[in-house]
Amino acid sequence: MESLQSIYRRYFDETLFSHKNGISYATRPEVGDGYACKVTTYSGIEIVYHDIRYHKPHPFRFASGGRMVELQFTLSGQRQVTVSGQDHEIPVGQGALALLQDFQVQFYPPAQQYASLSLAVPVPLFDYAAHPFAASSSRNFEFNRLLKGQSFRCYPIENNARSMLLIKQLIADFHNANRSPLMMEATALELLHMHLLQLLEPTPRPQGLSREDVRKLHMAKQVLETCMADPPSLLALSKKVGLNDFKLKTGFKECFGMTVFEYLRQIRLDYARKLLKDQAVTVTEAAMTVGYGNVSAFSEQFVRKYGIKPSELKKQF
């Protein structure tokens, strides 16, 4: 059976690219402008970034007898893909977890800019990561059980502020001559774990809430994560997800153990803490980025949650 590394080696050798250096592949001049980058981590994850502008529609095919799990994110543009007879397209800003084995892919890239990030995960690593979810439920999340003998199965996933931060970090690492493969692997593993949680973790269903209610409450949670700097009002949020405001307020607390506003405060402070540790931003900039207009109120809530002033945390990094 073809290995994951071999699948990607052939993909770059046989499709639209010419090898440039250790991690970069230039788009062939007759195809378009742009490049792709690839890093193989110690655990065998293939981290791949595409940034291409095609001169004209340029369909191409690729096939493999191997098997793989791929976490995919479309960052700009679009390209239609048919995998073993099934149409597959990821809207901009969205993602998907795809399981493939003995597959044939037809790509139909349009004449436009296209950027994406993908993490190809070895099947044994996926099964290892998914095992705790199976242990806590009656379902089996192993690759073979999920795929059920098919060539292709895909699960849509939603991005949030944290996942977009991790995606941007991986892209920045590709352009950093002093990149750390170990840190890139850690970021990739966090992305994988985050989206496995989203897809596989069983959610207790409180009494009085239907499965559809719980789905809508998760949608409300994702809206807050995406729009934390300028969140909708409670009434606007309830209309956006299709729940009345009473069920949104009570159901959110029952499902997630905190109110809507408590959750919004938590994700704002968590993201601000991440910004202060990892990026060259001031306390004021961090506060404004996550939606605080009053820096004093931000600092007060930050101390209450973390036991340290944001300015003191900033000095440590």
Nearest to 107 by CA among 46, 69, 63: 63
CA distance 191 to 239: 30
105 forms beta bridges with 62, 83
pLDDT in tens, 110-167: 778 899 999 999 999 999 998 877 665 556 788 998 888 899 999 888 787 788 889 9
**Beta bridge partners of residue 117, listed in sequence order:** 49, 73
Task: Outline where the chain has alpha helix (H).
Answer: 4-14, 123-135, 143-147, 161-174, 181-200, 211-226, 234-241, 245-256, 260-278, 283-289, 295-306, 310-316
So what's the pLDDT on residue 101?
A: 95
Q: Which residues of the chain have pLDDT under 50?
A: none
DSSP letter at 178? T
Contact 146, 100 (CB under 8 A): no
**Structure confidence at residue 17 (pLDDT):** 87
β-sheet bridge partners, residue 107 = 60, 81
Give residue 237's Cα distance to chain centre.
Answer: 23
**Alpha-carbon gap, residue 233 to 169, rounded angstroms:** 31
Q: Supply the pLDDT for residue 317.
A: 66
Q: What is the pLDDT of residue 42?
A: 94
pTM score, whole prediction: 0.67
Looking at residue 205, its pLDDT comes to 64
Domains of the chain, start order: 4-174 (2.60.120.10), 205-316 (1.10.10.60)
* pLDDT given for residue 161 in this prediction: 76
Burial readout 62-97 (b: 16 or more C-beta within 10 A, e: otherwise)? eebebbbbbbbbbbebbbebbbbeeebebeeeebbb
Q: Provide the sign of the torsion angle of the four alpha carbons 47, 52, 57, 60, taken in this order.
A: negative
* Rounded-to-integer distance, Cα 99 and Cα 118, Å: 13
pLDDT at 21: 78
Q: Are 154 and 98 in contact (CB under 8 A)?
A: yes
pLDDT for residue 24: 92
Residues 240 and 303: their CA atoms lie apart, in Å, by: 33
Backbone angles phi, psi at 102, to 5 degrees: 45, 60
How do the residues of the chain divide into helix, strand and coil, expressed in percent and rounded to 5? 45, 25, 30
User: For 217, what's the count of Cα atoms within 13 Å in the CB-facing half-sphere?
Assistant: 26
In this structure, the strands spanning 80-83 and 95-108 are antiparallel
Q: What are the Cα distances from residue 305, in Å, to 99, 267, 300?
A: 40, 12, 9
Alpha-carbon gap, residue 282 to 275, rounded angstroms:
9
